Every structure is written in structure tokens, then in C-alpha cells.
Chains A and B, each alone.
Chain A
């Protein structure tokens, strides 16, 4: 009883404080402009996935919005966090404290993502993560200023596993990157596989920065599994698919399923090697007219088609600006509240919703890599096989362990 009383008092105080601060800033923009900071990996493994392309995407969003919001200019800053959480953290601090940046977007790499989100929420600044996969951003380390926009390690395996099991791939063998990310991917995939009546016949944990996967592939091949699930990312995924092809594993009837594959990975592998590979993605440029139109404009500036992350940066920036316009202020609490009420719709997302824990839940797509014969152009790489509805793709907000979700 006493506890609830204290809780109620606290809640009331907090609401009052929030309300007054919102009121104080409600008339327009703090320090005369809106500043957006793209914090990304410009030199490491995420460079092609997010990197300079993300800066271009954010700039496109600002230009398309008209360059101004509430009568003031929108500014863009960008920096390379060099995959170092401390560098990311000190840049973010400087941006927020000294340069008055209002919103941070990007933050690929989960250590960077968690560090920046933690910092941004302590400083009441909105941080929209488009690059990292960890569900911790919206689970145990969720924040009322953090938004996870494009994908997470829960959403990725769902569509892939469902489709493969339904097409007869009942027995699974996992090659898993031996750290938290890989295990989380494997657990989530295995859960779906088992729910649908499939079984996991084995798994092997491959250490980080393995470059020869042949030994693990051999184990997978002799396990009698129908599907070899790759619970890894980036160079690891590329190398395992390449070597599976080399050892003729796919040719002898086993199927490969990638849990986290970006468009650039398919490009890196080449269609001849990657053909038939299935994976889940949040975006593919050639999905419909809307996505084609935007992607072509992006291509003209960047020289490559957008990844789901780069498209997500545009979409996130655009919606953020719209929320400022609707709220009539750039105050973080007010904008966040506005974003929570919006229904997100554009070329990237349909019927998207930002939940209380910061998760942007939206439809995902199951993609299949084309064969070289099917491909008509350089970037004609994927077929979208099916749509995975948002409620199936993401952790239902009611089950979230985030403290911001009212149980």
C-alpha cells in the first residue's frame, strides 16, 4: 500500500515536471535551430551498410522537408565513431552539450548504440538507432528517448525460419557466432522452428573472426539437417556462404538461411554464390514504385542502392521532423510523445508504430536471392517472397521487459 502511494506521488511529480518543462519549451525551438547528428561507422565493417550513405540519406530527408522547420533552418552534422564506444560517447556529449544537437541517428554496432542511447537519455535527447541489432535497446536498457528503428535480432529470424520450415525445412543445424549476438539470433530462430514443429539437430559455435568455416560446414553437412542456419553477420556470413558453395553443400541439397544479411553482403558474394539464399530484411529498393523512386534518387547521389539501414535513416529523420512540426517545438519529451502517436507511413515503413519501449514495430519482408539468369541489372538482386506482419516480427510490447512498459 505504502509502496503504491510513493509510486503514485513519484509519478505525479514526474508528470508535473515533464509538463512544466514541456510547457516551458512549447513555444518553438530551443536555440534557434534543429540540429541532427548522424553518428556512424565511416571506416569499419558497417561503412557500406550505414556510413557515408546514411549522411546522404539524412541530408535528402532534410532537403525533401524543405530545409526548414517551424521557420528555422535544419542543420546536419556527422561523424565517424570508428566503432569505438568511447569515441562515440564523447562525440555525442560534445554534440549535445556544446553544439545543441537535438537528435542523433545511426549508431551501428551494439556497444556504440547502447552507450549513446544511455548518454542521450540522461541528457534528454532523442537517439534513433538504425544500425545496431541488439534487442537490449528496447528491453532491459530501454529509454524514453531511445528509438530502435530498423531491425533487431528478434525480428530477423522470424520470417526466415517460418518460411523455411513451411517449405519442408524441418531439421536445422546452426553455425553460430560465438558471442551474445549470435546466441540471441540462434535462440530466436530455434524458438520459431520448434513452434512450427521443426527440430534443431545440432549447432556449432564458431569463434569471432574465424575465416575458415569449412570445418563447421562439414559438421553441418554430415548432421543430416535440411537447413543450415547462419546465426552470424557481415564477413562471417559472407565467408560461410562462400565456402558452403565451394564445398558443394547447397548443390547436394541442403539449404542455407542467413539470419542477418544486408544487400551489400549479397553484392559482395555475387549472385552465382548467393543464389537461393533466403533472409529477412526491413527494406528492398525494388519492392514497389515508391521505394524505387526514392532509391533511384539515392543511387544518383551515392552510387549504390540503399541498404535497409540507409533507407531507415531517411525515414527516421523525416518522421522526426514531421513530429517537430506537429508538436510545434523541438523539446524532446514533446517530440517523443508526438512520435508515439504517429502512424508511420512512407516508402520505407507501412503502418509503423513506435511503442512505449522505443521499438518501432513494422512489417518485415522475406527475401530470396535471385539466380544470375533472373537478374536484369547490377542491383537486381532479390525477390521479395512474403511480408511478415509487424505483430509477428517483433516482441509484442506487452511481453517487453522494459520498465517503461506498463504491465
Chain B
């Protein structure tokens, strides 16, 4: 018999292999979708509205758009195989470089938002489950409903209005850091960590202040699913036979609720948190726009609006890759948290 961890790793590896065909499918599908969408990038990127036919033809040739779609696909795939995601017409830089610069900003924001959401949602769910049907339970439900109903850009604007305009507590909502702060040497790309590594606590505080509002407005949106799933699985857990056993031997309230009930109830929350994370990373474009956050999602949206194929394709590939990776991490976490998984 394999040890639990070993078996989990084997399972994770198998899962990774089985996701490769799906990734390839995403690649081809996005490619075709971009060609089908109306809009001619060559016209868009020509020098101006008066550009002549010859100029447009020339750009088209440069971009390889004069070839047939299957040929373009083969070129595209062979480029991907060499690690070349193409060049963005918009920024003039390789897509890979653009993504590498902007991904940490998105990741930092999403991680922080997820952390805030979890810290808020799990206790809320637990409290609601401990007193189902009580005022607390209804309060949590109302809060969750509000969080879902209000779109992120509205809650974002509200937060800016209150904390920046009225109270003046928050800094300008203009990106990751105000222009006058000197940036630390980039090691992780996560500004808050880079500042810490550089020992610049003032900078760290400035970065955190910039981060907090967008993160909170994103978190508000995902607290609901996390809190609801925590409540539901906590209810099941509290009503289970093993919690009754724990109570029958007189374990303390804390031990019953945390060690016995919550640790079992947290398992489905891990799964949902993984899904929520992947969704947030792509869907936070509105928050990035409202707070001028230089992330990948707003980059991809700009590219899409200007028919810039390469960045959009690169972005979708990146998202698909992250989705696979996150699922893998969830799988491993689950395998560690639940000893039953490895023996299926």
C-alpha cells in the first residue's frame, strides 16, 4: 500500500496528463474564435483612417494574415511549441513579456481578495450553521445576497466614494502604487512581498493601502458562495454521527466544533475556493478597470477590443493553464486533508 501523500502525488500527476488534451482544445478553439470574430486587425493597426490599400495589405502580410486559416494555425501552434506567444500590436512587446509583467499584479490582487473572502466567509458560515434559522443566520444570508447582487464595479465605486472621497482614508485608486514611491527590486512581482524583502516598510504600507479596496470589492462578490458552502457542509458535519460521539464523551465545545466538525466541513470549501479563485482571476477585469489596476484581465480586454489576436490567445492559454494548476493544487490539498481520498 502506498502512503497517502505518494498516492496523492500519483493522482495529481495523472490529472495533469489528462488535462493536456483539454488545454490543446482550448488553444485551437480560441484561435478559431478569434478568426471568426468580426474586425480586421490590419485595418485597426494601420497608420490611420486614410491608410491605403497597399499599406493594409503589407501589414496583413507582416502579420501572416494573408495565409489560409489552417496554415496560420500550424504556424501558431509551432510558435507556441517554441514558447513564443507572438507579439502584441498594441504594446509592441512580446505577449509573454506583457503577461509576465501583468500577471503578478492580478495574482496579488486575487490572492488577497480570496484570503479576505475566506477569512470572512468561513466564520460567517460556521456561525450561521451553529444557529440555523436564527437572526444571525438570516443576517449572514442577507449579507451574502447583497454581496452577490451588487456588481463588483458598483461596490468598487462605492468603496472609493466612501473611503477615498468622503473619509479620505484610502489613497487614489490609480494602480498598484502611487507614482512617487520608488519601486523595490522585483523578485516575486508581488509588490507587498518585494517591499518586505527590500526592508521598505513605508513602501509596503503604501502598496497594501492601494491593494485593500480593490481586494475587498472583489472579495465581497465571492464571500457568498464560500459562506453558503461552509454553512451547508458545517450543518451536515454538526449533524453527523461522529460529532454526536464527540459530544457523548464530553469533549469541549471548541474541540467539537473546530477539530471534529469544521475540519470535516472544510473539505468541500477547498474545492469551491479553487473554482472561485480561477473564476476571479479572469472575471476581475471590472475591478482592474475601476482601480486602474495593471492586471492581465484588463490587458486582455483592451486587446480584444482592438482585435489584437496574440494577447487574447495568450491570455486564454494562461487562464486555462492556471485553471489546471489550481485544480491540481486543490487535488493535492484535498488528498492531504482527507485520508480517504487516496484509497479510492
Do A and B originate from a single complex?
no
| Residues of chain B having any CB pair with chain A under 8 Å | none
